[in-house]
Structure 1
């Protein structure tokens, strides 16, 4: 602690706070989503946009069509991942960007950029698989980052609500913050905040198919399957990136 003298020269200076609190890796992913959307909407004409959508959106019907013509299956190599970069409109994009900023930030800070990106795209693929299970026989396609974002949300649920672990510096003896331990599945569900968030999130998405019964008509077009598949993937995959857990010195 600094001592203040008569002319104020010893006064401690406030720590500099960064202007942007979102990590660079998360910002880069957000920038990519925005750049792809701008390129699609401002550069491509209607015919080119349909070609672009056909090439990069995930279409479950291709799985069945591949039995007749194997060439139709090639987009299935990349579309489980690339569909996460496409969006139907500004509202769709902005909602996903806001959610991504909220949950890519803690995941990136804990694990780094590449693990966050791997979790994002692996969860997007898991969401696409879940979407395909219920849409094999329909002419529909999946676009949007929500499956990947749901995966980051599920990953964050494993640690953001856990207690902060405080240890002791072996040289100075000062108390230092070590971080939060990754919770097991049972610990995650025993924690009141992570349990309530997880159950509420799962129930809301599971209820989407029943909205037409309440609202009438076809209801809203929300890929609830991708949300659920991505979330579960994030919860299960995040331990793969965990380093040695922090432990408090006694």
Structure 2
């Protein structure tokens, strides 16, 4: 290792700032989503794309079909999670990646890679469950990371609007920044910022099934997955909380 000496009065060299400030786990997840979309559109032919949907997208009808043919239930072991890595088009995946970057970043910084990915996958599965509750006999597929990202959004709402906690070292008096405390459910709705964000987010998604009566067309948005994922992340995030010293 090379060592250098600085002359008296010579300023120390500044550390190189990273080009991207995203946590590595968030960057990796975003890249994986984009690469899967690239492979599915640029590498697979139509038959291959159909097989990808069949084996890795979530289809609630399989739950009913498996009552007569149990072998049809096999993909239900993984599709509640794997559907989150597939998308219906480039616009779909790019919007989800942008939303992922915004809300996965604070969650990853607070809970680490394992915590962020766990919340993402659990919320994706919860979104799939909500989707199945309303589309059980329709034969439709669910794809997209929206449910998992909604869960990260719900988790982040529990702390990003809270004030920063500051303490002082008992011996040196040094000012120590402890971070933001996880808010209770009451505190979330007592804080105007988190209250309005949560209410607006829930109302907008709950209103999606009513939009055809207003605009005369289906939006093609899996609002059930959004709601299920958000509620899961919102309620389950305390399980990942680290107590502040």
1:223 is matched with which residue? Answer: 222
Answer whether contact 1:33 1:85 (CA < 8 A) is retained: yes
2:89 is matched with which residue? Answer: 89
Q: Which consecutive segments of 4 or more residues in structure 1 shift more than 3 A?
A: 8-17
1:42 matched to 2:42:
yes
Note the alpha carbon deviations across 1:98-133, whole angstroms, 9 max, x for none.
Answer: 000001100000010011000000000000000000
Answer whether contact 1:80 1:124 (CA < 8 A) is retained: yes
Count of matched residue positions in the alignment of Structure 1 and Structure 2: 239
Superposed CA RMSD? 1.7
* Structure 1 position 12, deviation (Å): 8.3
CA–CA separation in structure 1 for the residues paired with 2:178 and 2:16: 22
CA–CA separation in structure 1 for the residues paired with 2:145 and 2:49: 18
Query: What pairs up with 1:40-79 in 2 under 5 angstroms?
Result: 40-79=40-79
* Structure 1 position 15, deviation (Å): 6.7
- TM-score w.r.t. the length of structure 2 is 0.93
Query: What pairs up with 1:23-172 in 2 under 5 angstroms?
Result: 23-172=23-172
1:188 is matched with which residue? Answer: 188
- TM-score w.r.t. the length of structure 1 is 0.92
Note the alpha carbon deviations across 1:7-41, whole angstroms, 9 max, x for none.
Answer: x9476877754211110011111111111111111
Query: Which piece of structure 1 moves more, 231-240 or 8-17?
Result: 8-17
Note the alpha carbon deviations across 1:153-188, whole angstroms, 9 max, x for none.
Answer: 000000000010001123431111100000111111
The runs of 5 or more residues in structure 1 that have no matched partner are 1-7
The runs of 5 or more residues in structure 2 that have no matched partner are 1-7
Answer whether contact 2:178 2:244 (CA < 8 A) is retained: no
1:233 is matched with which residue? Answer: 232
